[in-house]
A and B are shown apart, each in its own frame.
Chain A
């Protein structure tokens, strides 16, 4: 059985000039990153553009990655910074703006959760304040630990914990109101 190369090994190979190694990193993380940006933006085309820009920037600044074990966190940090910059430039969406890309996305099997509930939760997540939304997505959808989230969001762990708790309260209240 062929042992899969670690992120660290691929980063080192990419730094030596083997661009194919970097494309392996892209192949490995593009689904995670794309879905993170899709859940943040709610727009597929927008998420694709940000994803492409993230990989391009990470390749151009790969030398600045000191802890090569943490390529994934560093990649998501670039994505978050790009998303924040982009959000500042774009006009805010109206509260009742249709989010068709969210509704059109794949749904879990109906025996797990009704489709309406799934869409309601997605809408609630989309309406969270951005700093709460980022924490919820990184923690529950992409499995980051708090120290990694602190690195990605450039924020103390304690603050992140309180944000997560607050987000969970808002979501729970929102779901109870809808019921």
Chain B
């Protein structure tokens, strides 16, 4: 190693950044060269002077950048708001469904969507929805019931007519009269039940109170 090579490595030697092999070579040169020896001493002094001449100071302000919200944070915020909005929408739908109680009804080739009425004319909420078909079924049931009652009463009528010696045609007429009377009684009692329970018909868009009139007109039922 000569003085020129030594000069190139002097900074690393002072900083202790040399490999062991290079350090050994420089040590060997330094022992035999007083100029390079003095150069190392001067370098150490100057470096020490420089380092202590200018202490670092704190900046007067921070340089943290005023970043916009991160993309990840934005997505999370959007997800949160979307979840909350979805829950609110579902809750609102359930509330509306419970309030309106819509029902789809197909009657005589006409599609109608009905909503539960808020109140009937009497102020009481109906407890049950009755369709026209149900009323017809009840009437038929009443007829069957009346027929069975007629058969139970028939022996009494037959016996009374037989004792009176009437003709067979007169008996039939008497039976029919009894049957018609019982049917009328049953129809009247059935309609009273319908009115007492606040039931209404659901066959059209008309108001519940009018539906009863409509049914009476169509089927000639006397209240």
Q: Are A139 and B11 in contact, with the CB atoms below 8 A?
A: yes
| 8 further A-B pairs in the complex, CB-CB below 8 A; given A17-B71, A26-B62, A141-B51 | A17-B72, A19-B67, A22-B67, A31-B56, A122-B54, A140-B51, A164-B11, A165-B7
Complex interface residues of chain A between 86 and 104 (CB less than 8 A to chain B):
none
In the bound assembly, the distance between CA atoms of A171 and B59 in angstroms comes to 27
Q: Are A55 and B51 in contact, with the CB atoms below 8 A?
A: no
Q: Are B64 and A23 in contact, with the CB atoms below 8 A?
A: yes
> Can you name 28 A-B residue pairings with CB atoms under 8 Å?
A17-B70, A18-B72, A23-B65, A30-B63, A31-B58, A31-B59, A34-B63, A35-B56, A48-B59, A48-B63, A55-B63, A55-B65, A59-B65, A105-B55, A106-B55, A112-B52, A118-B54, A121-B50, A141-B50, A161-B8, A162-B8, A165-B7, A165-B8, A168-B43, A168-B46, A171-B50, A175-B46, A175-B49
Q: Does B25 contact A (CB under 8 A)?
A: no
Q: Are A172 and B42 in contact, with the CB atoms below 8 A?
A: yes
Complex interface residues of chain A between 44 and 62 (CB less than 8 A to chain B):
44, 48, 51-52, 55-56, 59
Give the shortest distance, in Å, between B18 (CB) and chain A (any CB).
Answer: 12
Closest to B68 in A: A19
Q: Are A172 and B11 in contact, with the CB atoms below 8 A?
A: no
Give the shortest distance, in Å, between A73 (CB) and chain B (any CB).
Answer: 16
Q: Are B52 and A108 in contact, with the CB atoms below 8 A?
A: yes
Closest to A51 in B: B63
Closest to A161 in B: B8
Across the interface, which residues of A come within 8 angstroms of B57, CB to CB?
35, 38, 105-106
Q: Does A107 contact B (CB under 8 A)?
A: yes
Across the interface, which residues of B come within 8 angstroms of A44, CB to CB?
60
On chain A, which size bracket covers the interface?
Answer: 35 or more
Complex interface residues of chain A between 23 and 41 (CB less than 8 A to chain B):
23, 26-27, 30-32, 34-35, 38-39
Across the interface, which residues of B come within 8 angstroms of A118, CB to CB?
52-54
Q: Does B17 contact A (CB under 8 A)?
A: yes
Q: Are A18 and B50 in contact, with the CB atoms below 8 A?
A: no
Q: Does B185 contact A (CB under 8 A)?
A: no
In the bound assembly, the distance between CA atoms of A138 and B91 in angstroms comes to 65
In the bound assembly, the distance between CA atoms of A104 and B52 in angstroms comes to 16
In the bound assembly, the distance between CA atoms of A52 and B19 in angstroms comes to 39
On chain B, which size bracket covers the interface?
Answer: 20 to 34
Across the interface, which residues of A come within 8 angstroms of B50, CB to CB?
121, 125, 136, 140-141, 171
Across the interface, which residues of A come within 8 angstroms of B61, CB to CB?
48
Give the shortest distance, in Å, between A164 (CB) and chain B (any CB).
Answer: 6
Give B186-200 as 1s and 0s: 1 = Cβ < 8 Å from A's Cβ atoms.
000000000000000
Question: Which residues of A come within 8 Å of B, CB atoms?
Answer: 16-20, 22-23, 26-27, 30-32, 34-35, 38-39, 44, 48, 51-52, 55-56, 59, 105-108, 112-113, 117-118, 121-122, 125, 136, 139-141, 145-146, 158, 161-162, 164-165, 168, 171-172, 175
Across the interface, which residues of B come within 8 angstroms of A146, CB to CB?
11-12
Complex interface residues of chain B between 27 and 83 (CB less than 8 A to chain A):
42-43, 46-47, 49-65, 67, 70-72
Q: Does B10 contact A (CB under 8 A)?
A: yes
Across the interface, which residues of B come within 8 angstroms of A141, CB to CB?
50-51, 54, 56
- With A164-B11, A165-B7, A168-B43 in contact, is A121–B67 under 8 Å at CB? no
In the bound assembly, the distance between CA atoms of A165 and B13 in angstroms comes to 13
Give the shortest distance, in Å, between B100 (CB) and chain A (any CB).
Answer: 46
In the bound assembly, the distance between CA atoms of A122 and B17 in angstroms comes to 26
In the bound assembly, the distance between CA atoms of A117 and B54 in angstroms comes to 10
Across the interface, which residues of B come within 8 angstroms of A175, CB to CB?
46, 49
In the bound assembly, the distance between CA atoms of A146 and B17 in angstroms comes to 10
- With A106-B57, A171-B46 in contact, is A27–B10 under 8 Å at CB? no
In the bound assembly, the distance between CA atoms of A119 and B65 in angstroms comes to 33
